[in-house]
Amino acid sequence: MDPYTRARQLIDAAHAADPKRTPEGRPAELVYADRMEAWVNRLAPIAGSLLLPLAARCQHLERWTVPRTTYPEGRTGYLQWRKSLYGRQAARARELLLQAGVPAAGADEVATWVAKSGLTTNAGTQTLEDAACLVFLENEIEAFAAQHADYPEAKFVDILRKTWRKMSPRAREFALGLHLPPAIAALVRAALKPVDPA
């Protein structure tokens, strides 16, 4: 078995341990990995590229082992949690790729992307961020809105503006082509309106 196929198996075995299941009974992070890889393949269909799809599958690698509740409430705690996850997921991705026999240079590159290093300047990192934003918009935002029904509309609009700013022009084109529920589409339209400087 080639190292890249073996790496994929090791990554997916880690995802399979996720205790959270979809209604169909699949590990939630395995479903997320499939969605991430599908978007990466649409965003960057580079012939022969073996590393980027593996990196896409590592986006939430064993994220369930560090619950959000282990960090303080509020934005500062959220950012600390997220930053710690980036480093942890990158190190674990590198470990699994090396275990599979992927050359160290490739494992290091995947770790760089998963750690979100060089966002906007590193093409691989930006592609992973684009894919994550598109998965959020296509598959998660409706449930997120339902979970946070107490948020005022302005807060949702602000979240969408921040998401939009993180995306490349190519990813934004894909986002505009998504078939979103009417209420979510209205929020996206509101987010894309120019901000009144007053």
Q: CA 12, 143, 180, 119 torsion: positive or negative?
A: negative
47 part of a folded domain: yes
pLDDT value at position 149?
86
148-195: pLDDT as tens digits = 888 888 888 899 999 999 999 999 999 999 998 898 888 888 888 876
111 domain-assigned? yes
pLDDT of residue 169: 94
DSSP annotation of 73 reads S
In a domain, 160, yes or no: yes
Domain that holds residue 117: 3-192
Quick one: angle between helices 153-166 and 182-192, nearest 10? 70
Check: CB of residue 93 under 8 Å from CB of residue 62.
Answer: no
**Domains contained in the chain, number:** 1
Kindly report, residue by residue over 28-82, the tens digit of the pLDDT. 999 999 999 999 999 986 655 799 999 999 999 999 999 999 999 988 999 899 9
DSSP letter for 52, please: H
Average pLDDT over residues 17-29: 95
- 151 located within any domain: yes
**pLDDT tens figures, 126-144:** 999 999 999 999 999 888 8
Residue 197 lies inside a defined structural domain of this protein: no
For residue 148, being part of any structural domain is answered with yes
CATH number of the domain enclosing 51 = 1.10.3210
Residue 198 lies in a domain: no
pLDDT at 27: 96
Who's near 162: CB < 8 A, 6+ residues apart? none
For 184, half-sphere exposure in the C-beta direction (CA atoms, 13 angstrom radius) is 19
What pLDDT is stored for residue 196 in this prediction?
Answer: 57
Mean of the pLDDT values across residues 91-119?
96
Find out whether 192 and 165 touch, Cβ atoms under 8 Å. no
Mean per-residue pLDDT for 78-99? Answer: 95
